[in-house]
A and B are shown apart, each in its own frame.
Chain A
């Protein structure tokens, strides 16, 4: 029900299109607060700077201009929840060949667009407008003696109800192959409780699949409870239902009661024995796109190009091309640092997306691309 002092007649008389504010009143606050859950969605997007998000900050896009609606169904694939009523992609506006500034680089960048999600280069850090929660240890909750400390961003590291946290700002994403499909663990699904980590969601993709692209993700890592006998994730009852509630964790701080009640509510048996396990969720990063001139440059990933002066690794060296300008000028982490962002460690970084972790032998210029028989250039002389 709305707040009592809201003049509902006035509201009804002023109906209008949805806006970042109307969608954001829920979606910016996922996970229990501003920017907690979605790294790339926060109240910062109400009035974002141009470099925070070019679409919303430069061109004042509202959510539904990309997340098109039809009969109140709203397009968009969430990575954190399974429901989808249509999909949204950069390509629906920018096409499969999105680089057209007229530079000699266009051809190369459009080739890259077959293997990389746009935001690999165009949003090289996440939560750059506001810190987001990346670690949540529920097992530490309930300690009435622990005083929350503030981290370097001024965010608390502890909450008695919720446990221990870590926050990140302007953080480097985790890169993974993604076909646009997710694998998910649902309530009641069996999990391997002896595995080091249980992925609640993870992208489905492979270096060998032409339909998969390297995609940036925020990792939400946590410690949460699993049923030690039934091998499924436990759902605790957190919010007190009313004043008489005798089981809610946020009232009684008793996990046993909270699990018994929570599992009853979802219709599953609780064995009475639980273990704390580390779980991960992959959250695709689709917002916070930076202006084009702030995208990653060639050398920020391709270490092999760092010493090069011209394009002569592959092309005849007789053109009037400013190699340094096109291959080196990219995301200016020094500038971002000067604007107060926590990116000092990214200045001069190369192999930004970690080729080996993605299944390459190393820099594809030297070792070959995923479908290329021949590498682009010679092994660099020492």
Chain B
């Protein structure tokens, strides 16, 4: 009997665990999220090579794109979030960037002084919290990401250089912002949204999703027209 009770109690305890285990997750994204949460030991000393020496030494070791084992990262870190948290993580295709630059030293610009350490380390091994009084020469992780990404994107005239080109802004919590009575009707809700978002509302009124028609630049014979769509002329057979 006791065994039975233990068994039933165990089942009860395990049920929510099993339910949680069944929640859908995107495996590659999940791995990247886990990795982004890690904080690795701070590299205090680095080998102060200039970039040419560093590049040639990396090339001489024979490191190539085939050594890129982790192809995808989410640029996100508790180190940054501790101070501020306004944006969602950035998707970063490591291998794609390795291929585009064809020069690992572009990002892996120094190596740890410790000869036994790996040749390439992650950004957050050397760049952690900003304004560290012990390492005033070291910029923080957030600055390192932004300087590295934006400077290269500008120089190459490729890739985004604006905030939203790389990451979505967190949506502000609307619990306190929204001022509505219980059982609000749709008109009250719309009016409340418009109280702040009147520009967005104006924008919305000119879109294909609102008008069910719009420009047809990829339809031959109608490339300059602006009135075709499901609400006007479009035909189908379903």
Does B175 interact with chain A (Cβ within 8 Å)?
Answer: yes
Chain A residues with CB under 8 Å of B56's CB are none
Which residue of chain A has its CB nearest to the CB of B95? Answer: A100
Question: Given A16-B171, A100-B95, A184-B222, does the pair A73, B208 have CB atoms closer than 8 Å?
Answer: yes
Chain B residues with CB under 8 Å of A204's CB are 220
Asked if B207 and A183 sit within 8 Å, CB to CB, the answer is no
Chain B residues with CB under 8 Å of A73's CB are 203, 206-208
Going nearest first, the 6 A-B pairs with the smallest beta carbon separation are A100-B99, A222-B237, A60-B26, A47-B24, A82-B216, A186-B233
Question: Given A80-B236, A85-B207, does the pair A15, B228 have CB atoms closer than 8 Å?
Answer: no
Q: What 0/1 readout, one digit per residue, does chain A (73-109) give for beta carbons within 8 Å of chain B? A: 1100100111111010000011100001110000000
- Chain A nearest CB: distance from B88 CB in Å? 8
Does B213 interact with chain A (Cβ within 8 Å)?
Answer: yes
B87-143 residues with Cβ-Cβ distance < 8 A to A are 91, 93, 95-96, 99-100
Asked if A183 and B238 sit within 8 Å, CB to CB, the answer is no
Question: In the complex the two chains form, what is the Cα distance from A101 to B218 in whole Å?
Answer: 33
Asked if B28 and A59 sit within 8 Å, CB to CB, the answer is yes
Question: In the complex the two chains form, what is the Cα distance from A14 to B176 in whole Å?
Answer: 11
- Chain B nearest CB: distance from A231 CB in Å? 14
Binds B, one of A5-13, A123-131, A368-376: A5-13
Question: Given A12-B193, A77-B218, A102-B64, does the pair A72, B207 have CB atoms closer than 8 Å?
Answer: yes
Does A195 interact with chain B (Cβ within 8 Å)?
Answer: no
Chain A residues with CB under 8 Å of B200's CB are 71-72
Question: Given A102-B65, A136-B237, A281-B237, does the pair A184, B189 have CB atoms closer than 8 Å?
Answer: no
Does A340 interact with chain B (Cβ within 8 Å)?
Answer: no
Asked if B233 and A187 sit within 8 Å, CB to CB, the answer is yes
Asked if A83 and B238 sit within 8 Å, CB to CB, the answer is no
- Chain B nearest CB: distance from A69 CB in Å? 9
Question: Given A31-B238, A72-B204, A83-B229, does the pair A183, B219 have CB atoms closer than 8 Å?
Answer: yes
- Chain B nearest CB: distance from A186 CB in Å? 4
Question: Which of A138, A180, A186 has the most CB atoms of chain B within a 10 A radius of its CB?
Answer: A186
Binds B, one of A50-58, A252-260, A310-318, A354-362: A50-58
B161-190 residues with Cβ-Cβ distance < 8 A to A are 168, 171, 174-175, 178, 180-186, 188-189
Question: In the complex the two chains form, what is the Cα distance from A282 to B178 in whole Å?
Answer: 45
Does A32 interact with chain B (Cβ within 8 Å)?
Answer: yes
Question: In the complex the two chains form, what is the Cα distance from A283 to B217 in whole Å?
Answer: 17
Question: Given A12-B174, A12-B178, does the pair A182, B219 have CB atoms closer than 8 Å?
Answer: yes
Does B16 interact with chain A (Cβ within 8 Å)?
Answer: no
Does A237 interact with chain B (Cβ within 8 Å)?
Answer: no
Chain B residues with CB under 8 Å of A65's CB are 91
Chain A residues with CB under 8 Å of B61's CB are none
Chain A residues with CB under 8 Å of B185's CB are 8
- Chain B nearest CB: distance from A327 CB in Å? 19
A-B contact pairs, 30 of them (CB 8 A): A9-B180, A32-B238, A47-B24, A59-B28, A59-B29, A59-B72, A71-B200, A72-B203, A73-B207, A74-B208, A81-B230, A82-B216, A82-B228, A83-B214, A83-B229, A84-B214, A84-B216, A87-B218, A102-B64, A133-B238, A181-B219, A182-B220, A184-B222, A184-B234, A184-B235, A186-B222, A186-B234, A188-B233, A200-B235, A221-B237
Asked if B207 and A186 sit within 8 Å, CB to CB, the answer is no
- Chain A nearest CB: distance from B185 CB in Å? 7
Asked if B230 and A84 sit within 8 Å, CB to CB, the answer is no
- Chain A nearest CB: distance from B59 CB in Å? 15
- Chain A nearest CB: distance from B190 CB in Å? 9
Does B192 interact with chain A (Cβ within 8 Å)?
Answer: yes
Question: Which of B175, B222, B236, B237 has the most CB atoms of chain A within a 10 A radius of its CB?
Answer: B237
Which residue of chain B has its CB nearest to the CB of A2? Answer: B186
Number of interface residues of A (CB under 8 A): 65
Question: In the complex the two chains form, what is the Cα distance from A72 to B206 in whole Å?
Answer: 9
Asked if B238 and A13 sit within 8 Å, CB to CB, the answer is no
Question: In the complex the two chains form, what is the Cα distance from A12 to B173 in whole Å?
Answer: 11
Chain A residues with CB under 8 Å of B184's CB are 8-9, 12
Asked if A60 and B218 sit within 8 Å, CB to CB, the answer is no
Out of A8, A12, A74, A82, name the residue touching B234 (CB < 8 Å).
Answer: A82
- Chain B nearest CB: distance from A17 CB in Å? 6
Does B41 interact with chain A (Cβ within 8 Å)?
Answer: no
- Chain A nearest CB: distance from B60 CB in Å? 18
Chain B residues with CB under 8 Å of A222's CB are 237-238
Chain A residues with CB under 8 Å of B178's CB are 9, 12-13
Does B27 interact with chain A (Cβ within 8 Å)?
Answer: yes
Using A60-B29, A222-B237 as known contacts, list a sample of 8 further A-B pairs with CB atoms less than 8 Å apart, ordered by residue number in A: A15-B171, A60-B26, A72-B207, A73-B208, A77-B218, A85-B214, A93-B96, A183-B219
Question: In the complex the two chains form, what is the Cα distance from A26 to B175 in whole Å?
Answer: 27
- Chain B nearest CB: distance from A24 CB in Å? 14
Question: In the complex the two chains form, what is the Cα distance from A43 to B96 in whole Å?
Answer: 30
Chain B residues with CB under 8 Å of A77's CB are 218
Question: In the complex the two chains form, what is the Cα distance from A82 to B223 in whole Å?
Answer: 10
- Chain A nearest CB: distance from B53 CB in Å? 25
Asked if A220 and B235 sit within 8 Å, CB to CB, the answer is no
Question: Given A8-B186, A50-B26, does the pair A13, B174 have CB atoms closer than 8 Å?
Answer: yes
Does A116 interact with chain B (Cβ within 8 Å)?
Answer: no
Chain B residues with CB under 8 Å of A59's CB are 26, 28-29, 72, 91
Out of B64, B181, B216, B229, name the residue touching A9 (CB < 8 Å).
Answer: B181
- Chain A nearest CB: distance from B36 CB in Å? 14
Question: In the complex the two chains form, what is the Cα distance from A84 to B178 in whole Å?
Answer: 33
